[in-house]
Chains A and B, each alone.
Chain A
Amino acid sequence: MIRSAGFRDVLASLGSLARGGLALGAVAGAAFLPSLVAAQAFPSQPVSLVVPWPAGGGSDIAMRLLADGATRRMGVPVVVVNKPGAGGTVGLKEVAQSKPDGYTLAMLATGALFAQYNNPAANALSDFDLIAFFGDDPSALTANAKTGFKTVADFVAAAKASPGRLRNGNDQPGGTSHVTVSLLEKALGVRVVKVPYAGYAPTVQALLAGELDTVTVGVPDVLQHQQAGTVQMLGVAATQRHFLAPDVPTFREQGIDFVAGTWRVIIGPRGIPADRLAILESRLLETMNDPEFKAKARTAGFIVSPLGRADTARRLAAEDAAMYPVFLEAGLVKTRQK
């Protein structure tokens, strides 16, 4: 690959020029440009927040909201840069290789945990400095209304009556909703057919089309259909009920200790100076704890549960301990085997 840094930078700036022009045109009239007064202290120049996923997904929206709030807290623009590819690996690799000066941050999600074992080209979590935890997007077990399932117990009974017959829609092996259903099989002691789809939208569509019995996707993905009565959420895989679906009990309430879903963490390349790391951590936590931000994120369907660096590290270690055996069992661990 031709990867001369100079050329890449030129292209990058050309790209952002083109985008800047467009964006400016769009905001003319409704301008809300933050003051660009450059203080000498950190941060004194724009911070890029790399989202290793395409624009428009849940992660992208969450990070755009965060960038919008953080811009005001930090006094410098925080700019979302989408660098999708290889399940987040491409964008994260670029961040891992960037200068650890605190001006290049990224969002890392559940999938990165998997990528480090499955893709030899992916970075390990140890290549990054963890800065803050954004929040969880819990998965839910949702059934087609035609199955008649109302509770997790109904699902378990049906799955035990005909093992390996119920069809669950999920993403590709190693993806969040695939891991969720794999962990669920363990927790419930059942076996289902795990049918892979390329993304959550086609998964939900297939559930509605009657091709599937259940899906294991996020709460917002199925909410409208739950309200329309075409699907039934059986249980939410979180410690508390989801505020969007307060009527749906958690798995724990139904006697099953099961928590799963997507979580999002803000990270930077390893080696950011401690003082800058502390500033970033406190500014991001301030942003996420701001009631106005919380309200905005909540309207958009996100649960924001900020954690600092130490707690984030503990949380990720626990996730790793739970998920690694699932990857191993599914034959997906190809590198960094423990």
Chain B
Amino acid sequence: MDFLFGNILHGLAVAMTPANLGLCLVGCVLGTLIGVLPGLGPTATVAMLMPVTFWLDPTGALIMMAGVFYGSQYGGSTTAILVNLPGESSSVVTCLDGYAMARQGRAGAALAIAALASLFAGTVTTFLIAWAGPAIASVALKFQSPDYVAVMVLGLVAAVVLAHGSVLKAVAMILLGIFLGLIGTDVSTSEQRFTFGLDTLFDGIGFVPLSMGLFGLAEIMINLETGAEGNRTRVAINRLWPTRRDFREATPAAIRGTLLGSFLGILPGGGSTIPSFAAYSLEKKLARDPSRFGRGAVEGVAAPEAANNAGAQACFIPMLSLGIPPNAVMALMVGAMMVHGIQPGPQIIQKQPDLFWGLVASMWIGNFMLVVLNLPLIWIWVKLLEVPYRFLFPAVIVLCGIGVYSLDNRLSDVVLMAFFGVFGYGLRKLECEPAPLLLGFILGPLLEENFRRSLMLTGGDASVFLTRPISLSFLVVSALLLVAVLLPAFRARREQWTEES
């Protein structure tokens, strides 16, 4: 423990220099801003900051870039809660209950819970990185392709739980999501699938245009149809701060979300999106009364917000200690280090103690800055809800358009977003929920890729899924969950919840 605190103190000394504090603040403010702007994500922002980092001390540069990344996790929930528009892909599930809370006049409470859950997760994960980063990274190295297959299977089975209506429709949505995920170039053969020869579809459909269309634009259309103008302003905003009961319900959820997020964040392809979905499903599964979910359950905000922040910080672990970036932002940070001749990897802690501990300590400082920054802002955000909808929605649509375009500088992504907006409106009319679709979209292609690779590695021997302990245990859990879903008694209870909702 002395080792740990000695190092953290060393890190704090590095992170507390005026220059590094300033850079951390710049990163956090930028992160919050881009988080709030829908679609404009941390990847594009960190990329734009790259040239600046050529001229900065590497530690300061990384502190700033990291601030943008985890800062955006704070900001991303804001629009999700206020206007049902995920600012980041990791805030998609926050829409479900966060927006429901806002509609009940509890937007302030939802925003505060989101910020505090993020702070909690950020603090825990900072210590986790400091204490066991390299050890945890080695766990990720135990995972081989068959194990990923089993994890994805579990994820897909759990996706059914995400839905709060008909199981049949949830399964249909998952399958549709998997199908959408198959569009594009196949990794195993380089063949194009379902692209109709369009360049736009060559790399598949982007997650951001898909999720912004299905959630944000579809919501706007529904609101316009039902005359949201009236019922929106009628809801009184009673209080900004969460109640004691909110805290009681949110705390255990935030703890579970943090644990899940830090675990899923370290796996390749990890980051903050899958953890937020997983945490939400888990909360719904554990809840005594799952029918509250989707209607303003505090846990439905606390758990995914804790999970996405924990995931965002945990993915620094494989990046720093293995040199393996699990997502695009981490790849950029590896790039920023390489420009300065620093190779992230197993020896970084010994070779660059200032950089490693300074960065870790700055995350903790940054998380406090973010809460201080965000709590007073809640008041302003909530005021935003009083803006007449006829002024609000065109602004939101324009911001979405800019955000989606800025991802890859492609107009076709904006067209895709519009298409999925209309598509999402249709789904809403059919009472099909988009969340399981998105999970199928993320997990389906990963499942296929790893499944085919597993068979390629074993020369076609499918028993590998049952002989590897990791994959076997995940498959057993999936089977149990499946049985639970299909059990008649369980089904009766489900129907009961559905009636209630």
Contact = CB atoms under 8 A, between A and B. Distances in A.
Interface in A160-195: 167, 172-175, 193, 195
B25 to A, nearest CB: 12
Contact of A205 (B49, B141, B199): B141
B71 interface: no
Contacts of A83: 408-410
A129 interface: no
B346 interface: yes
Given A61-B335, A197-B187, A301-B338, A211 B45 contact: no
Contacts of A12: 405, 409
B190 A85 contact: no
B448 to A, nearest CB: 12
B52 A30 contact: yes
Given A22-B48, A56-B328, A299 B340 contact: yes
Interface string B140-156: 11111100000000000
Interface in A18-41: 18-19, 22-23, 25-27, 29-30, 32
A19 to B, nearest CB: 5
Given A18-B40, A205-B324, A220-B343, A196 B187 contact: yes
Contacts of A11: 401-402, 405, 411, 414
A299 B341 contact: yes
Contacts of B37: 18
Interface string B115-158: 00000000000000000000000001111110000000000000
Contacts of B402: 11, 14-15, 18
A336 B412 CA distance: 27
Interface stretch (A131-139, A222-230, A269-277): A222-230
B251 interface: no
A332 B334 CA distance: 33
A127 interface: no
Given A225-B346, A301-B338, A211 B203 contact: no
Contacts of B165: none
A18 B335 contact: no
B261 interface: no
Given A201-B324, A224-B345, A225-B346, A26 B48 contact: yes
B449 interface: yes
B202 A61 contact: no
Nearest to A8: B411
Given A26-B30, A172-B187, A195-B453, A55 B47 contact: yes
Q: For chain A, which range describes its interface: under 10, 10 to 19, 20 to 34, or 35 or more residues? A: 35 or more
Given A26-B30, A223-B343, A299-B340, A82 B187 contact: no
Contacts of A32: 55
A327 B474 CA distance: 40
Contact of B198 (A1, A54, A206, A224): A1
A123 to B, nearest CB: 11
A56 B332 contact: yes
A331 B38 CA distance: 43
Nearest to A17: B402
A225 B412 CA distance: 40
A68 interface: yes
A65 B202 contact: no
Interface string A54-69: 1111101100110110
Contacts of B51: 64, 67-68, 80
B346 A224 contact: yes
Interface string B449-483: 10001001100000000000000000000000000
A120 B195 CA distance: 13
Interface in B42-60: 43-52, 54-56
7 contacts: A15-B406, A58-B335, A86-B202, A172-B189, A209-B144, A225-B345, A227-B345
Interface of B: 22, 26, 30, 33-34, 37, 40, 43-52, 54-56, 64, 140-145, 185-190, 197-200, 202-203, 268-269, 318, 322-326, 328-329, 331-332, 334-335, 338-341, 343-347, 401-402, 405-406, 408-412, 414-415, 449, 453, 456-457
State the 5 A-B residue pairs at the shortest beta-carbon distance, nearest first.
Answer: A224-B345, A55-B47, A86-B202, A56-B332, A299-B341
